[in-house]
Chains A and B, each alone.
Chain A
């Protein structure tokens, strides 16, 4: 293998992991607040479509991203309203959000299946991007790649370095106690859910604005679900999300290259790898751990909160 191919593979892995980083870091904050939103896949596909449509009509990447964020938040607000105000079951509501999102995206996007858009291009910093090896590996990505890393840092900072972050974690661990000392559980959770929607929206838009210039109603291909797995993998620790996403990005890209190298395994078996790897990693996490429950998991995850006072 030559140097160029290796650099290509590393860049490919980074690009493949970015949508997962966005979607999982959003869901991580949501789950830290005690809410389980299984609608990630639905929010991602809606973001992917909104970004694509706005990019197609306006050609303005900034507007396209804004649209993806707003679309993700809009559909997440349905979930927020149902689970936080009307106290519905998180699992059932999240599932219907995914169904609804997939349906509405396919429906609204039906006129866009044969058009192409201009992809958001990578940055080019004079001198730095031109350096050999280091240039393309560190300074030659799309701006959104840097934003993804920044968001991980931001979520970490928020959760562990701010007072609001501490309150949010307290709510996720014991909503009754947090409520008793006067914190507004519902407000924190609604805002967290909206943030999750915005992140899933960008994650989806990354697929349609950076990875491929076309729209397909199945373009998320289960990434929302993998993102949910990544949150478990990360043990709800922000920086581990990046590690997990790189592992999955790596498997995805390597199986694509393996298909190209005419390895004698049928393409279907190679395509199974990212999904099987998700399971394998979740299992390996628990193998060394003798305790019954996952200690880092927010205690109130998925539990319904209703204040009587």
Chain B
């Protein structure tokens, strides 16, 4: 296996990892906020509207206005709710979303210049925790993130919340098997669970991307990823037209905002996984950081595009789709991949 990465990277220190974690928290949280602006703009354009327009240039400061609103809203814990679980649930969603990002290559590595006091010369890695089971860890963390909606829906003593929680369980039971099985075939091809190995395996240019060898797995993973992030064809948990706001019905202010940040961080995570596993990641020499941003941006745009285009499906249809259609296809894909590898 050819590798283009420089092998003699500096040693990763605790300070570097902490700096990386702070960078991820700050930048991704900001991007998640920016994502709401992008989403509103793109959806508006696709419906021939303008979107946010008047607060700041091109409506950019709408973000600040929304932030002020979220932070200053009254934090209500409803009567009869289980207060402890009600308060903890949003942080589960937000925390697991960011924990998942710790094992994902987010930004290129760099070394802090020597003239910076205290931190000079510290090497900041591309991945905060370069686990050799990175993909398993990320998928597991994102799956654990669904405890947020589940507990929130059940703790708030609201019938719409209960329905949202039940739908969370249905969704969780449906897509998780497809996520694992669809990404199993690329894992077999690469022979590793580390994102860095995936990146290096596709280093030979566009023709080496795994999407050409595993198009079925790519489509399956995208479908499962949409379900994992509660995006529109599968946004059963909080579909406004049916269950008011589902698991988030009783939430207001920053607690609701944490659900939101978690959802957008998950969108970014799924986009990064899809880009690294199937579309060659950041392997292009020199402009890798730019291409990974373009790839992630494409997947993010795809999610908004799909939201503007497609209606969403019923919970039973999701279960039917995942268990009766996608799972057999994924299994067949894995078997065929295995046979091809053996022959």
| A and B form one complex | no
Interface positions of B (Cβ within 8 A of A)? none
